[in-house]
Structure 1
Amino acid sequence: MREFPVLRLAVRPLNFQLRSDRLVKPNLSEKERKGQLGVDVTPGRIRCSGRGVVLSRAQQRVSSRHGDRGLYQYLSSVRGLGGFQDHFDWWASNTFSVRGGKPLWIDPFDRRVQHIFIDDNIRQNDEDTIVQPKVFLEPDGSETRTACTSELYDVALVQTDLLTAISDRGYFTRRVHICLENYQRNLQPNEDRVGL
């Protein structure tokens, strides 16, 4: 069985300034501003089935049994870097399409957290892509819709150009900046949330 690691980057807050090719995040710790994020080496797992999705890491376990919001909140609370083993067999049994891809939850109303999914197997053809973007339909709701990959390309999804990524140290930083800017333009209005 072939397994792929999952890398998700949660960027907070989204009030940022670009200065000298540097992302300034004023509400983060000095270590986070310098890029010295903690690393959680405990491997997580993503398991998908017709009944839903389960994320687990060590003693933590969250499922989509009561909707996708709990999974989104769990991933939004993770600090630093970590990984989740995806469910390759589920993706293969769904003909390597968006239907069986690695789930990525996106809340277009959330101004505090942006999830960015980076992988070289992201394709704009939904019949041949490794990610299943799930977009929340309303603020704080639990219902989602599966979005087209092309809808979130360079907003929350980055297809890695492997040769450029290897040869250009600033590649990922630039791609994240592009996503941050595009996400800001695509945020949905949300008058119900106070203080955002």
Structure 2
Amino acid sequence: MDGANGYEISNREEEDKDAGDTVQPLIPALQQKRRKLILHLDLNNTILVSDTATGQGLREALNSYLSTVVWGQIGNTGEWELISDQTSVKPPSQDAINYCTQFGRDGSFSDSKIGRVFKEVFTRHMGLLQWQGKADDLFTQREDGQLYHWILPSFFHLLSTLHQQGRPFSIILRTFGTDLPNVLQSVHAALAGKHPQFPQLQELPLSVELTPGKIRCNKRETVLTRGTTRVSTKGKERNIYDYFTAMSGIGGFQDHFDWWARNSFTSSGGKPLWIDPNDCDNLHIIIDDNIRLTETDTIVNSRVLLDNGKGRKASRNAPTSELYDICLVQTDLLRAIAEKDYFLDCVRACEENYETYFQKFLLRRQSYG
């Protein structure tokens, strides 16, 4: 699963102006091939509804998430007022403020005065999470005497369907928390045919690297380690990109929470993700509930690797808005619980949007002469 190589990267280079809204494909549709997918998936509030790092069980975690997708605004009295009884990952208006930002995450949100409006949503999704059958330490969690799914079925459906479609793909689990060893063990067991609802997973030729790695950041470099492997961006920033791209199967890495905290929880200290528009063969997508369109409150540090067509390499920071729903997906946890195709839909939308992004990039590169 290991692999890294790279080229020299210079400091930030200014991107050309947008090539326009309408893009005529430079590569005819019949010649376009489906790229290998490298899917970076968060754990908590993405494929899990619990958090061992914070001690949140299922009910608290789901309530806490609900408090981030309920929106209001400051009214004439100076008080926060609910403006919609519909949940949304994105603000419904420019002046909208979610409940969490105003009051903080609330592990008992649906029992609060404002949250009672969403009690039915909470109850319905708790019902969807209920496990049918005997308890299984690898795949279930117990709360209030009831059994629930630990890893969302939509995640396992993603693996099964991508295999059925013949798609080349790898999965990289990314978390600040401590759940990785247990999640990797459970996924490994599922791929051995032990998940009673997904026995077909044993047909997948996917290996699981059970040893979690770490990603650590400082001002000079980003360093990835796993076992005896060490990969650094020092001198060659694309090294970790190439390492991730070469991965096969499923693995996981603990990202650097302290670095994110020291950078005030802004994008500059977030989980690093490299994108290379020059790479016609691979597409990196990260799905995380803490991706936000506000750079001061988001979890991914996006780096675009560029080639100006004259042999000089460059990299630049990319704002979340540039890659939102292209390579960066903000998890809609309610959909991930309710819709088995949720993650597949995310991938399909990103592939379509990335093709437009890629064509625009080709036009800009062509303009270099």
In the alignment, what sits opposite 1:72?
A: 241
Which structure has more RCO (C-alpha within 8 Å, separation ≥ 6)?
Answer: 2
Matched, 1:56 2:225: yes
Q: Deviations over 1:161-191 (max 9, x none)?
A: 1111111111000001111111122113278
In the alignment, what sits opposite 2:112?
A: none
Distance between the aligned counterparts of 1:57 and 1:171, measured in 2? 30
Q: CA deviation at 1:65?
A: 0.8
Matched, 1:121 2:290: yes
- Quickly say closer, same or farther: Cα 1:141–1:80, change in 2 above 3 A: farther
The structure that is strand-richer by fraction is 1
Secondary structure of 2:287's match?
Answer: strand
Contact kept? 2:288, 2:331, Cα under 8 Å: yes
Identical amino acids, percent of aligned pairs: 47
- Selected match of 1:102 from 266, 271, 283: 271
- Selected match of 1:93 from 244, 262, 275: 262
Letter in 1 for 2:248: R
Secondary structure of 2:280's match?
Answer: coil
In the alignment, what sits opposite 2:21?
A: none
Q: CA deviation at 1:95?
A: 0.5
Structure showing greater Rg: 2
Distance between the aligned counterparts of 1:112 and 1:149, measured in 2? 23
Letter in 2 for 1:167: A
Matched, 1:135 2:156: no
In the alignment, what sits opposite 2:326?
A: 155
The structure that is helix-richer by fraction is 2
- Quickly say closer, same or farther: Cα 1:141–1:27, change in 2 above 3 A: farther
Letter in 2 for 1:183: Y
In the alignment, what sits opposite 2:348?
A: 177
Secondary structure of 2:259's match?
Answer: helix
Letter in 2 for 1:144: S
Letter in 2 for 1:80: G
Distance between the aligned counterparts of 1:134 and 1:15, measured in 2? 19
Given the two structures, how large is their TM-score scaled by the length of structure 2?
Answer: 0.43
Matched, 1:112 2:133: no
Q: CA deviation at 1:38?
A: 2.4
Distance between the aligned counterparts of 1:97 and 1:176, measured in 2? 25
Distance between the aligned counterparts of 1:40 and 1:181, measured in 2? 30
- Quickly say closer, same or farther: Cα 1:110–1:25, change in 2 above 3 A: farther
Q: CA deviation at 1:39?
A: 1.8
Letter in 1 for 2:343: F
Q: CA deviation at 1:25?
A: 4.1
Contact kept? 1:69, 1:142, Cα under 8 Å: no
Q: Which runs of 5+ in 1 are unaligned?
A: 1-11, 17-21, 192-196
Letter in 1 for 2:351: L
Q: CA deviation at 1:67?
A: 2.4
- Quickly say closer, same or farther: Cα 1:125–1:83, change in 2 above 3 A: same
Secondary structure of 1:110's match?
Answer: coil
Secondary structure of 1:137's match?
Answer: strand
In the alignment, what sits opposite 1:3?
A: none
Q: Which runs of 5+ in 2 are unaligned?
A: 1-32, 38-160, 170-199
Contact kept? 2:301, 2:317, Cα under 8 Å: yes
- Quickly say closer, same or farther: Cα 1:127–1:76, change in 2 above 3 A: same
In the alignment, what sits opposite 2:35?
A: 14
Given the two structures, how large is their TM-score scaled by the length of structure 1?
Answer: 0.79
Secondary structure of 2:297's match?
Answer: coil
Q: CA deviation at 1:143?
A: 3.0
